[in-house]
């Protein structure tokens, strides 16, 4: 199951479901709040007609609230909260039943990778188990150049095929895994692979 940062689905539940709620629930509109930040997988939020949702954010990185055309869709976002700001709040009252999709349109906040690997020397990477369809982003900085290469097997540093762009001291590389299997990666720079800069990704 792909979890997308900064993406939110609001399903509005109609009158029938409202009537099915416990009898002690007052039929008053509710106010729901969402803390809007990167790295949070948002579950669908079910609300009742008339409820108000308020997004708030204040973590230093600018965000906005935008409508999206479908779940996990980050291409066609329409900002509705104005220009991105570092500290913001946006409220919307839902008066019509339906399914609504929201995302942040800033940078790659919407389609941020599902799994992040901080790629460096001196780390023994445990096998990363992910479901198919998920993506992994390797990123590195700190002055030592690295790259990402596919390897023929666990612990193998021969026949590395570099996948990332030109060698750089600061970079990142993303890959989406659509097929189940076991995949091996290493850094091809100098003897980084021999020094243990390797990772196995198991896709189920």
- Per CB under 5 A, residues contacting Cu ion are 146, 187, 189, 192
**Cβ proximity to Cu ion, 8 vs 187, nearer residue:** 187
The nearest distance, CB 186 to Cu ion, in angstroms, is 9
**Cβ proximity to Cu ion, 76 vs 195, nearer residue:** 195
The nearest distance, CB 39 to Cu ion, in angstroms, is 25
The nearest distance, CB 146 to Cu ion, in angstroms, is 3
Question: Quick one: which H or E segment has residue 138?
Answer: strand 135-140
Question: Going by DSSP bridges, is the β-strand pair 128-130/198-203 parallel, antiparallel, or unpaired?
Answer: parallel
The nearest distance, CB 162 to Cu ion, in angstroms, is 11
Contact status, residue 138 vs residue 183, Cβ threshold 8 Å: no
Question: Which two three-digit tokens encode residue 32?
Answer: 């729901």
Rounded to a whole number of angstroms, the CA Rg of the chain reads: 21
Contact status, residue 58 vs residue 81, Cβ threshold 8 Å: no
**Cβ proximity to Cu ion, 77 vs 148, nearer residue:** 148
**Cβ proximity to Cu ion, 27 vs 191, nearer residue:** 191
């Amino acid at each position: 199951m792909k979890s997308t940062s900064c993406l939110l689905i609001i399903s509005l539940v109609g009158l029938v479901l409202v009537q099915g709620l416990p009898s002690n629930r007052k039929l008053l509109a509710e106010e729901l709040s969402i803390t809007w930040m990167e790295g949070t997988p948002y579950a669908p939020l079910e609300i009742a007609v008339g409820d108000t949702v308020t997004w708030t954010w204040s973590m230093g990185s600018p965000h906005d609230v935008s409508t999206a055309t479908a779940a996990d869709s980050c291409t066609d976002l329409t900002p509705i909260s104005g220009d991105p700001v570092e500290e913001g709040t946006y409220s919307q009252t839902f008066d019509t039943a339906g399914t609504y999709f929201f995302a942040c349109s800033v940078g790659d906040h919407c389609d941020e990778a599902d799994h992040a690997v901080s790629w460096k020397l001196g780390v023994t990477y445990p096998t990363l188990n992910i479901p198919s369809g998920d993506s992994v982003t390797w990123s590195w900085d700190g002055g030592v150049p690295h790259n990402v290469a596919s390897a023929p097997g666990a612990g193998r540093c021969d026949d590395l095929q570099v996948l990332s762009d030109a060698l750089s001291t600061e970079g990142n590389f993303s890959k989406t895994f659509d097929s189940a299997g076991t995949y091996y990666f290493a850094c091809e720079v100098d003897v980084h692979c021999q020094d243990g800069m390797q990772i196995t990704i198991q896709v189920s």
